[in-house]
Structure 1
Amino acid sequence: MSFTLVLGGARSGKSRHAEALIARHPAPWAYIATAEAWDDEMRARIAEHRARRGAEWTTIDAPLDLPAALAEAGARPVLVDCLTLWLTNLMLGEHDIAAAGAGLRAALAGRAAPTVLVANEVGLGIVPENALARRFRDLAGGLNQDLAARAASVHFIAAGLPLVLKGEP
């Protein structure tokens, strides 16, 4: 399993950096999108992301089933954006998060093509005041730590600038 994990805060430039990492490999590329458009603001964000990508990208919508989306991407270089929204979808749907994480790890282990995962680093802020937010923060932090330990490369993005925490740039 060889993949890159790109972490950072909201609007830090994670997606642009991840897109540039994938673009180092020959097209066509697959973009696995985990976001769901529940309101106008989210629809606008999704449209912004799609407009930034060219015809070389195929979008695979996967709000819940990342292993199936990774299989669908096949041998193409793939970008998963983002694990934080995927975790949110799992939590809100009351899915088995441990089983979903195991499925993701198995799917990543089976990939030979370049793979970049994007996730928010949620552990830099204050302790949330409610139990659901604390559970989300804890699960996201655990997922990030687990994947960072397995990743060949980990990049942290702040203000659009990458800091390589592990592996090669």
Structure 2
Amino acid sequence: MHKTILITGGARSGKSVIAEAETLKLGRPAVYIATAEAFDAEMEARIETHQARRGVEWTTHAEPLDLIGALTQTDGQGPRLIDCLTLWLSNLMHAGRDWRDESAALCAALAKQNSPVVLVTNEVGGGIVPDNALARAYRDAAGELNQMVAQEADSVMMAVCGLGMKVK
């Protein structure tokens, strides 16, 4: 069964909660592929909040860089939720990796999955143009990555005020 769902939205739009619910609709138990790394106490608290909300129906697989490896390793173990693509992109850029090649490889891997995949990403294009080159490069890369994954996805949802709206 091939099913890829992309859920996008702004900060605190409810996209992760919506993605968790959509993933569990596809089967249980589910696998949570986390791309976040806790570099400070605030991020540790965010990660703990996410983990506590998910509960025992989830197995967590932390992978800040190798999403293709994580998908390969977890295929067949139930639906997977990747949260989130924009953190993964930031990790790739920080590590000096070619995000375009990695993104293309991710899209190719998504097409080969047997178990469903739900992906969360931030919609970063609705704000002002950033005032520095690095922030502009990140915003542009996030927009391109989101478009690439949206083309591969079977469906796309936008989270607004905790509500999911079907886009594709």
Structure 1 length as normaliser, TM-score? 0.95
Alpha-carbon distance in 2 for matches of 1:58, 1:8: 24
The answer for the alignment partner of 1:74 in structure 2 is: 75
The answer for the alignment partner of 2:64 in structure 1 is: 63
The answer for the alignment partner of 2:128 in structure 1 is: 126
Percent of residue pairs bearing the same amino acid type: 55
Deviation track 1:16-40 (CA, whole Å, cap 9, x = no partner) reads 0000001112211100000000000
- The CA RMSD measured in Å over matched residues stands at 0.9
Match of 2:162 among 147, 160, 163: 160
Alpha-carbon distance in 2 for matches of 1:83, 1:72: 18
Q: How does 1:17-166 map to 2 (within 5 A)?
A: 17-75=18-76, 76-166=78-168
Task: Give the stretch that moved more between structures: 120-129 or 146-155.
Answer: 146-155
SS in 2 for 1:122: coil
Q: How far did residue 77 of structure 1 move?
A: 0.4
Structure 2 length as normaliser, TM-score? 0.96
Alpha-carbon distance in 1 for matches of 2:13, 2:155: 18
Alpha-carbon distance in 1 for matches of 2:88, 2:75: 20
SS in 2 for 1:55: helix
- Could you tell me which amino acid in structure 1 is paired with residue 84 of structure 2? C
- Could you tell me which amino acid in structure 2 is paired with residue 131 of structure 1? A
8 Å contact kept, 2:111–2:152: no
Alpha-carbon distance in 1 for matches of 2:3, 2:143: 21
SS in 1 for 2:56: coil
- Could you tell me which amino acid in structure 2 is paired with residue 124 of structure 1? G
For structure 2, the 5+ residue unaligned runs are none
Q: How far did residue 126 of structure 1 move?
A: 0.2
Runs of 4+ aligned structure 1 residues displaced above 6 Å come to none
Alpha-carbon distance in 2 for matches of 1:115, 1:32: 10
Alpha-carbon distance in 1 for matches of 2:43, 2:73: 25
Task: Give the stretch that moved more between structures: 50-59 or 106-115.
Answer: 106-115
- Could you tell me which amino acid in structure 2 is paired with residue 140 of structure 1? A
Q: How far did residue 11 of structure 1 move?
A: 1.0
8 Å contact kept, 2:86–2:142: yes
